[in-house]
Amino acid sequence: MVICRWQFPACTKRGIIPQGKSMSLFSEINEQPERLKSLLSSQRKTAEKIARAIQGRDIDYVFLAARGTSDNAARYANYVWGALNGLPIALATPSLFTYYKKPPRLKNALVMGISQSGQSPDIVSVLEEGKKQNCLTLAVTNEPDSPLADHADFMLDIHAGDEKAVAATKTYTNELMAIAMLSIAMNNEKSQWKVLEKVPGWAKQSLKQNKAIEQSAQRYRYMRQCVVLGRGYNYATAFEWALKLKELTYVEAEPYSSADFQHGPIAMIERSFPVMAVMPDGNVFETMMNALTHLRNDFGAELVIVSNHPDALALAQTPLSIPREIPEWLSPLVGIIPAQLFAYHLTLAKGFDTERPRSIHKVTETR
């Protein structure tokens, strides 16, 4: 089965959509450093106020509801708040609230909803039930005048600005920033705010690869299937990268933990099968490096790797670098940016419209 063809001249000349008129997706990808900076400067006091409220209650765990891109942000919270704040997170099953009318007991939970639009009725229903059960409720949203915000005791406005592109980019990274801010606020670690202030600069640095990524994406214009691997904090990044590939390029992109992948799905790998991976330096780097080396050397996999470690970048046929000094727990805020650019340029290389993906809309209201 041939997934990719390595015919560069054909790839670079066919199917490119002119970028002259509507470029909201590309513009919004490039807005991210400033939007991250704006959120950090404008909402720190709000994050600290919310953290004090959480600390003032007998909170045992977080019950978190989200969909789509926001669900991937929830995966990040699962690791960050678990590892750095000792708070277990249970990801909600909204159908229990809407269709089955059998919500679970939420005693001593922080009930939290993450939604860019704040409109989805099933996410709102989770916070509504949380209030009925006398739980502390929190909305993280880009729309402070939304139903989700109306049903929350506290609201953190992610300050991403108007996002017109159907595929979410800046709202995702700002959701991650909001989660990181709340984590630092709950720990009351003032020195960590200085580290967080470096994120917009790291994001800006990552955007400088745009031309190189545009050229690299041409190599994969015939790609129809791939897997996307991540682990730890970047388990979320794997899911978000796969989602962008599905939404924009219609590639069958399946996300996995690099550990889960070895328990069966590895059987699909054959020579030249594309494997995307996010593997910055950190606690899970060595195990991912071993897994990806095995995939390339023993299976002949085609590797696209986002990393700040030279060994990982040297292993990849297509390396996508991020700044070396990013701590692992903050790498998802920056590591998704080369992946967004990759999905954007691959969409153009395949001849598809980046602004009007088929079958999906900007706001999806599920029940």
Interatomic CA distance for residues 109 and 150, integer angstroms: 19
pLDDT at 332 over 70: yes
pLDDT tens figures, 175-202:
999 999 999 999 998 899 999 999 999 9
Which H or E run includes 115? strand 109-115
How many other C-beta atoms are found inside a 10 Å radius of the C-beta of residue 244? 29
* Cβ-Cβ contacts under 8 Å for 336 (sequence gap 6 or more): 172, 173, 176, 237, 240, 241
**Residue 23's pLDDT band (cuts 50, 70, 90):** low
Task: Domain ranges for the chain, please list them.
Answer: 8-16+207-349, 26-197
Beta-bridge partners for 115: 141
Residue 72 confidence (pLDDT): 97
pLDDT at 334 over 70: yes
Among all chains, which residue has been given the structure tokens 């950090």? 40
8-16+207-349 and 26-197: same fold? yes
pLDDT at 352 over 70: yes
How many other C-beta atoms are found inside a 10 Å radius of the C-beta of residue 205? 16
pLDDT tens figures, 198-210:
999 999 999 999 9
Interatomic CA distance for residues 10 and 219, integer angstroms: 10
- Structure tokens, 76: 């990040």
Residue 366 confidence (pLDDT): 58
DSSP state string for 10-73: HHHHSSPPP-SS--HHHHHHHHHHHHHHHHHHHHHHHHHHHHHHHHTS---EEEEEE-HHHHHH
pLDDT tens figures, 195-240:
999 999 999 999 999 999 999 999 999 999 999 999 999 999 999 9
Interatomic CA distance for residues 307 and 304, integer angstroms: 10
How many other C-beta atoms are found inside a 10 Å radius of the C-beta of residue 257? 18
R_g of the chain, CA atoms, integer Å: 20
Alpha helices (H) along the chain: 8-13, 24-55, 68-85, 95-98, 121-132, 147-150, 170-187, 190-196, 199-207, 210-217, 235-244, 258-261, 285-299, 310-315, 331-349
pLDDT tens figures, 285-316:
999 999 999 999 999 999 999 999 999 999 99
pLDDT tens figures, 47-99:
999 999 999 999 999 999 999 999 999 999 999 999 999 999 999 998 999 89
Residue 367 confidence (pLDDT): 58
pLDDT at 4 over 60: no
What residue type is 299 in one-letter code?
F
The 3-state secondary structure of 152-188, one letter per residue: CCEEEECCCCCCCCCCCCHHHHHHHHHHHHHHHHHHC
% of residues, the chain, pLDDT over 70: 91
Once rounded to an integer, what is the mean pLDDT over residues 321-342? 98
CA distances in angstroms from 66 to 69, 145, 148, 187, 360, listed in the order given:
8, 18, 11, 24, 17
What residue type is 341 in one-letter code?
L
CATH of domain 26-197: 3.40.50.10490
**Residue 358's pLDDT band (cuts 50, 70, 90):** confident
Query: Which fold does the domain 8-16+207-349 belong to in CATH?
Result: Rossmann fold (3.40.50)
CA distances in angstroms from 33 to 101, 142, 174, 212, listed in the order given:
42, 17, 10, 19
Interatomic CA distance for residues 256 and 236, integer angstroms: 10
